[in-house]
Amino acid sequence: MSDNETIVKTTQTSLEIVSTIRDRGGARTNEIVEAHDIAKSTAHKHLTTLERAGYLRKVGERYYIGYRFLNLGEYAREQWSWFSAVKSAVEELSERTEEECDFVVDDHGRVITIVESYHKWAKYGSDDGTKRYRANIGTYYPMHATGSGLAILSSYPRERVDSIIDEHRLPALTDHTITSREELFDELDRISERGYAIGDRYYTEGLRSVGMVVTGVDGSALGALSVSGPTYRIDGSVLDTEIPRSLSAVVDSLESELESILPPV
């Protein structure tokens, strides 16, 4: 049986409508009709069903993402037995480095932030209108453009990386972003040898992120911890020695703790 044969089309349409509303920051019924090429009555049924279940909110004539997703999102984060340990590890890493830190996992070929911690002294941004980076919970990032994503990719077999590239491509976010398979695989080889990844202005200008994979008891990547900050602070010995040393210490401690938390393989 193919994947297409297992998909419930009405459910797929509802999910696509939710994504459209999210991407547009709200939408009217006629916008949904046009975006999905469906009858107005069909759009109305989907929207009404989602709104009554709490997945959408209706304000005037526009629909917005509902609070039910917030409830489910918190559950999705905290359902894992390892969540508390990971949260503590992110906080410890932030205190050690005095930078913004986060923990991400792979979700269908993109990384999503599960835990973040902003150190009280950490500031990143600019007054010239360039994009600001914050590791917000629930935000997706392309794996090839972040230190944590690259760290996870370096732990995967080449076939799996190829599959992710086929689905998501390698879009250029800055002039420094890796955009070719050959370049990406060369970088993944360097990460494997070095033990950590560096996202050097790949996601946004002026930002570096250093990531290290966190391995579960089964030997596979559970996720990755990363430290992010402006290039003028994450440079020299801070980039080459201090942050990798802090990452290694926190990852080792976390992986040891996970051995007593996660079920045996």
pLDDT per residue as tens digits for the range 217-265: 999 999 999 999 999 999 999 999 999 999 999 999 999 999 998 776 5
pLDDT at 2: 47
The CA distance from 84 to 219, in Å, is 20
Name the architecture of domain 3-70.
Orthogonal Bundle (1.10)
In angstroms, the CA 102 to CA 81 distance is: 18
Mean pLDDT over 25-46 rounds to 98
| pLDDT per position as a tens digit, 81-114 | 999 999 999 999 999 999 999 999 999 999 999 9
Domain pair 3-70 / 80-261, same fold: no
Specify the DSSP class assigned to residue 264. Answer: P
Per residue in 123-167, pLDDT (tens digit) is: 544 444 444 445 578 899 999 999 999 999 999 999 999 999 999
- d(C-alpha 234, C-alpha 210), whole Å: 9
Q: How far apart are CA 231 and CA 43, in angstroms?
A: 47
What is the phi-psi region of residue 31: left when phi exceeds 0, alpha when psi lies from -120 to 50, beta otherwise? Answer: alpha
Arch. (CATH architecture) of 80-261: 2-Layer Sandwich (3.30)
Query: Is it the case that residue 1 has pLDDT exceeding 50?
Result: no
Mean pLDDT of 198-227: 96
Per-residue pLDDT averaged across 207-223, rounded?
A: 95
Whole-number percent of the chain with pLDDT over 70: 91
Sign of CA dihedral 183, 184, 187, 193: negative
Work out the end-to-end distance of the chain between its first and last CA atoms, rounded to an integer number of angstroms: 30
Please give the model's pTM, rounded to 2 decimal places. Answer: 0.86
> What is the pLDDT at residue 127?
44
Q: Could you state, in order of their start, the residue ranges of all structural domains in the chain?
A: 3-70, 80-261
Look at residue 129 in the predicted model and tell me its pLDDT.
42
